[in-house]
Structure 1
Amino acid sequence: MPALSFEAPGRLKLGRPVAIIDIGSNSVRLVAYEGLSRAVTPIYNEKVLCGLGRHVATTGRLDEEAVDRALRALARFRVLCDTMNVSDIFVLATAAARDASNGPAFLEAAAKACGQPISLLSGAEEARASALGVIAGFHDPDGIVGDMGGGSLELVDVRGSQVGQGITMPLGGLALQDVSGGSLKKAQRIVREALERAPEYLENLHGRTFYAVGGTWRALAKLHQAARDYPLHVMHGYLIEPDDGLDFLRLVEEADAKTLKDIESVSEARRPLLAYGAMVLEEIIRLGQPIEVAISAFGVREGVLFDKLDAATRERDPLIAAASDLNLLRSRSPRHGEELCQWTEAFIRSLGLPEVEYDIRLRRAACLLADIGWRAHPDYRGEQSLNLIAYGAFAGLDHPGRAYLALSIFFRHEGLSPDKVGSRIKTLAGPRLLERARLLAALMRVAYPVSVAMEGVLPQVPLLARGNQIVLQLPAHLEPLANERLMGRMRGLGKLLNMDTVIEIV
């Protein structure tokens, strides 16, 4: 079988792919990434629910059947990595392997199966890697990271790029199921006693964000979205209000999992662990009183890769990094996206419209993404761009921000009427971001008939607010561009802002 070429035109020139193999207490997973970068993009993702941590808490040993499944998965992953021409494979093992008496023998066999040395992470190392994953996936995070796996729960404080000292507790789903004998009441007592012994972490959570990492919590968030008929089925950055979360978590603990809406989307092997994940999260919310719970799709794997980046790359904004990558891969002239950022910024400043950092980041990302739909049929460019952005693998972006980006580019192609798009994504954006999206789209609708998406034009044609007028300045050699189409786009912008519009030849 021929190896996958890393010279594919639709891929960034980052060299050969890199991969993480994560040997966890519940699953063994392979994730191969396009390359090592600030905005890592998976090119392949596969997990096998082996249940290595099942019964370790009571027997002290890894189950032989689970070990056999894990070794077969690792041998398969080795072949897949060879096929993808992966350059570096980082193999990690966590709670089950470090807690079991036959863990060393398993790791020796596992290293042979996957053909790579294995890093056995301590609890503190696992907590740090989870925190780095959240730093990789969120812009300027501030709160407590909680990573719940099958065998353990790690808690660690994160402030911006700073990671505190982490702790690990035997509160994974499989471990709780094991030591409680399947009794939810007994498991709840175990959870409360363990968390009450870590008051500094929960006290530091008050009024801050709890970043929930791990497959069980992502599954709970998926069910929460289904129960609330949420319009965007993206896990990363999904926010749950504490009061609403507590009501839902109690429902999960008390109800038969089969009755939960969209339960089919959760694998059968994970369903028995949902109640344990719910009770751990409930106690964290009750004791820690966070302002919100943010679901993170980034964790130990992304944290390990983030730690391998140089300092300058780590400091890059993950949203702008991802938008820049898509701009490079999909735009007709990537430099034009950068010029559009500066051109729109100059107009907004002249208009006196306040922009906080959040607004600036979103506007810049939208400008970089403005031309990614140009290859689509003209009648569907707006719709395809909206879908690419709303469901894209972006980090450093909340869900209202996703809606803003998607709506900006949709309105750029389809016109400024809010009636052209469904109510659910408009509701997700909210009134303020909806109007900001329409304004940015109106500016883009003026920019593109002048620049035709080519670099070097926008710096010559400033658009400025002057009193109650919007003035587009064209140099004499570009005067033929001032046709009825351009004037129509100018009038659309003026109508949105209740201002007159003028084209000046200078």
Structure 2
Amino acid sequence: MRVAAVDCGTNSIRLLIADYADGVLTEVDRQMRIVRLGQGVDSTGAFAPEALARTFEACAEYAGIVRAAGVERLRFVATSAARDVSNRDEFFAGVSERLGVEPDIISGAEEASLSFRGATSGLAALEVPGPYLVADIGGGSTELVLGDAGGVLAAESLDMGSVRMTERHLHSDPASIEEMRAATKDVDALLEATTVPLSEVRCLIGVAGTVTTVAAVALQLTEYDPGVIHHARIPAPLLLDTTSWLMGSTRAERSVVPAIHPGRVDVIGAGALILQRLHDRVADGLAYDEVLVSEHDILDGVALALAAGE
């Protein structure tokens, strides 16, 4: 069976097409477009017209790719940015018109389950100890999912993401020390208040575009290579060095780094800061003082569930 999953977040919209046979998912195509759907949502409570236009253009492009691939089942999930906006009916109609399916605004619990399922598929071969904390740092929120071989133990969506923290705090270029301190204080407060028991974490797994971009910068890749990124291990000192550079550099300096997508240039510093502060919070309990990076995430979880008829 050939299935397709679309994940629409605050900053990007992503597509996975995969074949499913005998319980195994084989990737056919994986695409990502930066659409910044969450532009200004934190302050206005609505999707901006230009943000919707960018998102609908990507949806139309994905519709052509899905048709050409002969996909049998398609699911479109939307998370943080689409939960509470005042004009979400316009968003629903635009997506449905182009892709032929309505977006599923999934609950935090389902998002956690799908992300954990996708991120931990294939982990057994690495022999890394659990419990695992899967961290999905998006544009508007960060999903923390703690689990082990038996499934999800605890999960929470925190109102911190690369776009949200940049819009709230990081206005200078480069960010000032005062702005960095304010962003750090905001992130630390949210981590301090989380209901997820971070003291139980033995392995930190980072997924999705923010984390994979930070990893690509840390590894000094001249071009983005998913094969190198998937299951890469970023030691604590290298993570700190990378975060320090991303937070302290100018947009112009970041824009010439091949591994950073142009749509992430202005917000990747805030994303790296979130990852850094999360690592620091769980470091004492980790079996290995590092971040394990996974290319597999909620998209893979959606595709697996869709193929299994769940």
What TM-score bracket applies, with the shorter chain setting the length?
0.7 to 0.9
SS class of match (1:61) = coil
- The answer as to 2:182 corresponding to 1:197 is no
Alignment deviations for residues 439-493 of structure 1 (CA, whole Å, 9 cap, x no partner): xxxxxxxxxxxxxxxxxxxxxxxxxxxxxxxxxxxxxxxxxxxxxxxxxxxxxxx
Partner of 2:184: 188
1:32 to 1, 17, 22: 17
Q: 1:94 maps to which residue? A: 79
Could you say what secondary structure the match of 2:228 adopts?
coil
The alpha-carbon deviation at position 308 of structure 1 amounts to 4.6
Give 1:221's aligned amino acid: A
- 1:274 paired to 2:268: yes
Q: 1:161 to 1:257 in 2, by over 3 A?
A: farther
| 2:96 equivalent in structure 1 | 111
Q: Corresponding residue for 1:158?
A: 147
Report the aligned-residue RMSD: 2.6
1:60-91 CA distances to partner (integer Å, 9 max, x unpaired)?
11111010111122122222212221100111
2:244 aligns with 250
Change (3 A) 1:306 1:164: farther
- In structure 1, the partner of 2:291 is 293
**Distance in 1 between residues matched to 2:254 and 2:12, nearest whole Å:** 23
Pairing of 1:5-16 with structure 2 (within 5 A):
15=1
Unaligned runs of 5+ in 1: 1-14, 312-506
- Give the Cα separation in 1 of the matches to 2:203 and 2:195: 16
Tell me: CA distance 1:58–1:166, structure 2 relative to 1, closer, same or farther (3 Å): same
**TM-score, structure 2 as length reference:** 0.86
What does residue range 106-255 of structure 1 map to in structure 2 within 5 Å? 106-139=91-124, 142=130, 143-180=132-169, 182=171, 183-198=179-194, 200-205=196-201, 208-226=202-220, 234-255=228-249
Larger mean CA deviation between 259-268 and 72-81 belongs to: 259-268
Q: Partner of 1:23 in structure 2?
A: 8
| Matched-pair contact (CA < 8 Å) for 2:5–2:299 | yes
| Percent pairwise identity | 25
TM-score, with structure 1 as normaliser: 0.54
The alpha carbon displacement at 1:218 in A equals 0.4
**Following the alignment from structure 1 to structure 2, what is the Cα–Cα distance between the partners of residues 263 and 37?**
41
CA distance in 2, matches of 1:185, 1:102: 34
In structure 1, C-alpha distance between the alignment counterparts of 2:226 and 2:11, rounded to whole Å: 27
Q: After the TM superposition, which parts of structure 1 deviate over 6 Å for at least 4 consecutive aligned residues?
A: none
- Does residue 53 of structure 1 match 2:49? no
- How many residues align? The count is 292
Greater Rg, structure 1 or structure 2?
A: 1
Q: Which SS does the other structure have where 1:164 is aligned? A: strand
Contact 2:75 2:306 in 1 (8 A): no
Give the drift of 1:261: 11
* CA displacement at 1:178 relative to structure 2: 2.0
CA distance in 2, matches of 1:272, 1:111: 30
Question: How far off its partner does 1:257 sit?
Answer: 5.3
- SS of the aligned residue for 1:154 comes to strand
Mapped to 1, the partners of 2:226 and 2:170 lie a distance apart of: 37
Q: Does the aligned pair in 2 maintain the 1:252–1:275 contact within 8 Å?
A: yes
Separation (CA, whole Å) in 2 of partners of 1:282 and 1:94: 23
1:27 CA displacement: 1.2
User: How far apart are the structure 2 equivalents of 1:133 and 1:260?
Assistant: 30
Among candidates 59, 64, 84, match of residue 69 of structure 2: 84
Residue 95 and residue 199 in structure 1: after superposition, are their counterparts in 2 closer, same or farther (change >3 A)?
closer
Work out whether residues 155 and 201 of structure 1, in 8 Å CA contact, stay in contact via their aligned partners in 2: no
Kindly provide the amino acid, as one letter, of the partner of residue 236 in structure 2.
Answer: P
| Structure 1 residues 92 and 162, CA gap change in structure 2 (3 angstroms) | same
Q: Deviations over 1:342-385 (max 9, x none)?
A: xxxxxxxxxxxxxxxxxxxxxxxxxxxxxxxxxxxxxxxxxxxx
C-alpha contact 2:144 2:196 (8 A) present in aligned 1? no
Task: Give the CA deviation at 1:273.
Answer: 1.5
- Structure with the bigger RCO (C-alpha within 8 Å, sep 6+) is 2
Summarize deviations over 1:177-210 as a string: whole Å, max 9, x none.
Answer: 22226343322221111111126432122xx110
Cα distance between partner residues in 2 of 1:267 and 1:260: 10
Residues 232 and 306 of structure 1: is their aligned pair in 2 closer, same or farther, counting only changes over 3 Å? Answer: closer
Amino acid at match of 1:218: T
Shift of the alpha carbon at 1:262? 7.2
Instruction: Report the residue type matching 2:260 in the other structure.
Output: V
Q: Which structure has the highest helix share of the two?
A: 1
The answer to whether the 8 Å contact 1:180/1:186 transfers is: yes
Contact persistence 2:10–2:36 (CA under 8 A)? yes
Aligned to 1:347: none
Listed as ranges, the gaps of 5+ residues in structure 2 are 172-178
Check if 1:71 corresponds to 2:69: no
